[in-house]
Amino acid sequence: KTDNGEERRLINVVDEMALAARIPSPPIYLLDHESSINAFAAGYHPTDAVVGVTRGSLPRLNRDELQGLMAHEFSHIFNVDMRRNMQMVCWIGGLEAISTFGRRIMRSASKRSSSSRKNNGGGVILGLALFVVGIVGTFLASLLRAAISRQREHLADASALQFTRNPYGIGGVLWKIWKLKDSGLNSPYAKEVSHFFLSSASGAGSAAFFDFGFFNTHPALETRLQRICPELLR
């Protein structure tokens, strides 16, 4: 419970969206030190889901836009996208750990070889193999994560329209992020969990790979607005 009017409004909107989606109303967490506009859903199942909202979203979004924001996140909960997101984090983290372990094996083998003046090529080869597997695996998994995330974001935008019947809800949120270029988080781990959020937690647009955006976890905001509410782009 809270006496804060903005927080009370958020709780009411979450309860409304839970009723519309026919799933239990999840706990709400405010990212108090984040002034940007963004939100995420996490958990393995709708019954243990949580919703997080940046503090900056509350004063900068009207009620319709807050409904659109929550409807988008409830789509991820309803479609169990959050479980897939957490699995991808685990996969990529594990592959990065393999590459780090391989690099340490190579360093250790090289040092032992130098100090004892004996060839320790087996250790170097093992370390190199693990390093390559980890690096290539991380690269491919990151591409897959980005492709899946972009697809699910489009689906969540469409589902937000179904829940609210108001294109200016989610459309207004995306338009404000696009105009203000303000969805990034201050956390140093924002990039790793960016695909959990409504918009890129690293900023309004993810960093591109050779300007083609292969690693972008979100579709371009202009593309999303064109599908939802194209008149806002005029």
Q: Let me know if 73 is a catalytic residue.
A: yes
Count of CB atoms within 10 A of residue 115's CB? 9
Q: Are 201 and 193 in contact (CB under 8 A)?
A: yes
At residue 144, what is the residue type? L
Residue-wise burial string across 176-203, b where 16 or more C-beta atoms lie within 10 A, e elsewhere: bbbeeebbbbeeeebbebbbbbbbbbbb
Residue given tokens 């790793």 in the structure block: 192
6, 73, 96, 192: the active-site residue: 73
Catalytic residue numbers read 73
